Amino acid sequence: MEYRIAKDKIAGQVMFIMTIASILLVIAMTIGLFIKSEPILSQYHLWDLLTESNWRPMEGKFGFLPFLAGTFWCTVLAMIIALPISLFMAIYLTEYAHRRIRKYVYPLLDILAGLPSVIYGVWGSLLIVPFISKYVAPLFIDFSSGYTVLAGGIVLGVMVIPLLVSLFMEIFDNISKELREASLSLGATQWQTIKYVVLRKARPGMIAAIVLALSRTLGETIAVLMVCGNLAIVPESLLDACYPIPALIANNYGEMLSVPLYDSALMFAAFLLFFVVVILNLCSRIVLLKVKG
């Protein structure tokens, strides 16, 4: 008996230590990125760095607005594409589909969610980019290479769909059948039950799933790098090229670091991305607390 109690205490202490270590790791990452970013922050005002669009490191001009704008455009477009598709797919698979269909769809979703991002990038380069260049862009402008915000948003959206569908399905499956049966017994249709019972009950979990998907899209690198054009300009339409922050870091880290402040500028870009993801997750926790309250 004493052995079991001691074993339980040791297990609790080990888990506590691992929890503290994970928190300290995040704090260490924050401090490390800030220290690496300090040289550029000491020479340029933060507001100027965030609002200037001129990116010429050789001339000492570091404007991060094009990268912030590119990240925002691609992320928002990806979520606009992925959210409705993922939600309706999850509703169909959990509420309407036969078990046999779910049996085959589940493994397929796991495979799609686990594919390396470079595969999605190649797919986007071979299919999405030429399609935009030949068929979509000519409807609005004279010429486009196809390497655009639209291509990046589509590729990111397709990447996020398997993740969102899997999360939504798991959330819907955890809602008790008694709630559905009670709603149906009161005369509600199946769609009314889904709309007013299932989705309302699943709201906190759905918010957490959406934030997780947002974090995934914000940090995606290779796929975006391959289809967005990588031009340091502020996009004015979906058919303009863009340059998201992850692509900036992946393209340039390790090169041209002899340029003054270039290393610090890239670390500041990483710090910006890290800060946005952390703030996004904190906001989601606040929303979840209000929803649960």
Q: Is the pLDDT confidence value at 260 over 80? A: no
Provide the 3-class DSSP secondary structure of residue 241: coil
What b/e readout covers 236-264, taking b as 16+ CB neighbours within 10 angstroms? eebbbbbbbbbbbbbebeeeeeeeebbbb
- Across the range 137-157, mean pLDDT stands at 91
Is the confidence at residue 158, as pLDDT, over 80? yes
Q: Has residue 291 got a pLDDT over 70?
A: no
Q: Per-residue confidence at 184, pLDDT binned at 50, 70, 90?
A: confident
CATH of the domain spanning 67-255+267-290, picked from 1.10.3720.10, 3.90.1150.10, 3.90.180.10, 1.10.287.110: 1.10.3720.10
Q: What's the rounded mean pLDDT across residues 61-79?
A: 91
Mean pLDDT, rounded, for 179-190: 86
Beta-sheet strands, E only, within the chain: 55-56, 61-62
pLDDT for 183 beyond 60: yes
Task: Write down the pTM of the prediction.
Answer: 0.88
Mean of pLDDT values over 209-215 = 85
pLDDT of residue 73: 92
- Give the pLDDT confidence score for residue 1 in this predicted structure: 62
